[in-house]
Amino acid sequence: GSSRGSGAGNVWRVSGLRQEVDEPDEAVLARAARQIGLDPGQLAFARLAKRSVDARGRGADLHFVVQVDLAGQGPIRSQKFERLRRSGKVREAPTAASLRVESAGRPGGASGGAVPHVVVVGAGPGGLFAALGAAESGARVTLLERGEPIERRGRKVVAFHRGGEPDPDNNLLFGDGGAGTYSDGKLYTRVSDPMEFTVIQELIDAGAPPDIAYDARAHIGTDRLHRMLPRLRARLEAAGVEFRYGIRVTGLVRSSGARSEARIRAVATTEGEIPLDALVLCIGHSARDTWARLLEDGVLLEAKPFQLGVRIEHPQELITRGRYGPEIGDGLGPASYNLQSKGAPPAHSFCMCPGGRIVASVNEPRRLCTNGMSNSKHSSRWANAALVTTLTPEDFASFGFEGPLAGVELQRHLEERFFVAGGETYQAPAQRADDFLEGRLSGGELKTSYGFGAVPGRIDELLPPQVRDAIREALGRFDRTIPGFGGPEGLLVGIETRSSGPVRMTRDRESRRALGFENLFPAGEGAGYAGGIMSAAIDGARSAQSAVLEARESLSKP
């Protein structure tokens, strides 16, 4: 966990503080202390807990809104403190959760009983933190990943971008580090789980910048993510995790014998069967082939709503000016945005990458899908984000796609349509925002950061009508927040189909087990219970803990 003032009283969180853009952190920490009636010299510990930009007033009143965690050297007894506690402006700071899980009545680790073997599938954030959680809880852990270690994965990604075909196991979605490895590495999360602090600390230990602990716009960047992965791997290996790369899971092998629920004895893989006591599946939102195999093996899969739309790209300058006002210099760096349109149908921006570039997140040949990434310095002159609306299983049915994998079928159908419209070379169809609104093809050169390049296309006609309408409405609204957003400097590039997963591997809420299985634990984004790096990591860690508990209990039965 993060360093807490040892020997001090409780750690308290003070919220609602204001920090000027050029004000040093120490000043705001001291102000927080005084606000609760402490002299800064009486602090045992203080640090920023959360910081976000308040840009509502644009240039004139631009400032940060800050929360501070602090502790006195002893109990705090001031009247100011009591008053702020009653008003809710001061509350107890959350503490980090442990990766290690103890069975009731018996300590973890080698507890006399046999050590369970937990197999984790997928080396994305879900699988990495599942493996770490299981290992820290005393299990023997094998981590199976279809792709290669980051160094070799990178070479295959480059080969695709130089004009080759996409590799089915090493691409922007698959391989060491999982889907987010070529990303902005944003760590925003909407879950509120004390495991978040644990994950953050592990990431900092592996080389992430310490400000990810409090910055509301915390991001790591592709370059830094790539340097961190080998260190994270070393940390896991030291905890006892065995990594096996280049091996794909192709099915489940059940135990024999009559039971009310199925028990898995091994996973079938491209390198033969691997026996296990519990299986944690963290296969991500694009393991379409694996979902199909799991369905055949009796796993309950359900179609779930997912988000679909386009990438939109602007000059970063236009976004920063629109957010912060014309006179703000470099102090705050390139601005980001997070916009919602409550129109009918609604739409929102997602996965905004300031100073980034558009990439092809493709794992199947002849299908096109965009996404965005950026380096830690946010140094490109382009800003991009997904602009998406939610499609439901009723929408899938209106295209004639039914069943658990209906969403996957719809994704594939639209990805093929955009691939063909782009000229069958992974160039992407693109349309200027004003042309999209007017329903005409864009003329002239279409400048974009997208490596394969853009060709003029009628995105307004290629998208399903409900998606087109949602994006139309959103462009109008967002243009009022950021002037020029919906004008000729905005370029729509498509199609974006993988913002979230179209499938749920339904599990029991309490035990986290797949329905109908004793020892199968689907987790992360591919299970439909997480979205994003942080929530997948937390879900993986928690599911691994459940897996260890189940495996220990079943091993202790005669």
Q: Which is nearer to ligand FAD, 19 or 222 (CB)?
A: 222
Is residue 284 a contact residue for ligand FAD (CB under 6 A)? yes
Out of 536, 538, 544, 551, point to the residue binding ligand FAD (CB under 6 A). 536
3-class secondary structure, 370: strand
- CA–CA gap between residue 332 and residue 355 (Å, rounded): 13
Is residue 507 a contact residue for ligand FAD (CB under 6 A)? no
| Alpha carbon separation from 307 to 132, 258, 362, 485, 499 (Å, rounded) | 30, 41, 17, 21, 6
Is residue 528 a contact residue for ligand FAD (CB under 6 A)? no
CB of 549 to ligand FAD, least distance (A): 21
Out of 276, 503, 533, 551, point to the residue binding ligand FAD (CB under 6 A). 533
Q: How many CB atoms within 10 Å of residue 107?
A: 11
Sole window of 7-15, 95-103, 483-491, 520-528 interacting with ligand FAD (rule: CB under 6 A): 520-528
268 contacts 251 by C-beta, under 8 angstroms: yes
Residues in 55-114 that interact with ligand FAD by CB under 6 A = none
Pairing between β-strand 370-374 and β-strand 356-360 as defined by DSSP bridges: antiparallel
- CA–CA gap between residue 125 and residue 108 (Å, rounded): 24
Sole window of 57-65, 202-210, 314-322, 531-539 interacting with ligand FAD (rule: CB under 6 A): 531-539
Out of 68, 526, 528, 548, point to the residue binding ligand FAD (CB under 6 A). 526
Residue length of the chain: 558
- CA–CA gap between residue 466 and residue 238 (Å, rounded): 51
CB of 17 to ligand FAD, least distance (A): 27
Sole window of 27-35, 173-181, 252-260, 545-553 interacting with ligand FAD (rule: CB under 6 A): 173-181
Sole window of 86-94, 177-185, 316-324, 338-346 interacting with ligand FAD (rule: CB under 6 A): 177-185
Residue 132's identity, in one-letter code, is L
Comparing CA positions, the residue from 255, 300, 297 lying closest to residue 276 is: 255
- CA–CA gap between residue 528 and residue 232 (Å, rounded): 25
Q: Which two tokens stand for residue 75?
A: 């109990």
538 contacts 195 by C-beta, under 8 angstroms: yes
Q: Which is nearer to ligand FAD, 175 or 355 (CB)?
A: 175
CB of 557 to ligand FAD, least distance (A): 30
Sole window of 277-285, 394-402, 417-425, 434-442 interacting with ligand FAD (rule: CB under 6 A): 277-285
Q: Which is nearer to ligand FAD, 188 or 399 (CB)?
A: 188
CB of 311 to ligand FAD, least distance (A): 10
Residues in 351-380 that interact with ligand FAD by CB under 6 A = 351, 359, 361, 371, 373
CB of 117 to ligand FAD, least distance (A): 17
- CA–CA gap between residue 382 and residue 285 (Å, rounded): 27
Residues in 109-148 that interact with ligand FAD by CB under 6 A = 121-127, 144-147
Comparing CA positions, the residue from 446, 493, 444, 464 lying closest to residue 399 is: 464
387 contacts 347 by C-beta, under 8 angstroms: yes
Residue 395, φ and ψ in degrees, nearest 5:
-65, -40
Residues in 200-259 that interact with ligand FAD by CB under 6 A = 248-249
Sole window of 175-183, 253-261, 396-404, 475-483 interacting with ligand FAD (rule: CB under 6 A): 175-183
Comparing CA positions, the residue from 13, 25, 27 lying closest to residue 84 is: 13
Count, residues near ligand FAD per rule CB under 6 A: 45
Q: Which is nearer to ligand FAD, 236 or 533 (CB)?
A: 533
Locus of tokens 């089915």: 168
- Residue 345 CB contacts under 8 Å (≥ 6 apart), including other chains: 389, 390, 466, 469, 470, 473
CB of 350 to ligand FAD, least distance (A): 9
Out of 321, 532, 542, 544, point to the residue binding ligand FAD (CB under 6 A). 532
Residue 450, φ and ψ in degrees, nearest 5:
-65, 120
Q: Which is nearer to ligand FAD, 217 or 468 (CB)?
A: 217
Out of 175, 309, 356, 522, point to the residue binding ligand FAD (CB under 6 A). 175
Is residue 290 a contact residue for ligand FAD (CB under 6 A)? yes
Phi-psi region of 206 (alpha: psi -120 to 50; beta: other; left: phi over 0): alpha
- CA–CA gap between residue 531 and residue 63 (Å, rounded): 30
Q: Which is nearer to ligand FAD, 180 or 322 (CB)?
A: 180
Is residue 184 a contact residue for ligand FAD (CB under 6 A)? yes
Q: Which is nearer to ligand FAD, 44 or 253 (CB)?
A: 253
Percent of the chain that is helix, strand, coil (3-state, to 5): 30, 25, 45
Residue 292, φ and ψ in degrees, nearest 5:
-60, -40
Q: Which is nearer to ligand FAD, 29 or 279 (CB)?
A: 279
CB of 259 to ligand FAD, least distance (A): 25
- CA–CA gap between residue 547 and residue 544 (Å, rounded): 5
Which residues sit at the interface with ligand FAD, rule CB under 6 A?
121-127, 144-147, 172-175, 178-180, 182-186, 248-249, 282-285, 287, 290, 351, 359, 361, 371, 373, 524-526, 530-534, 536
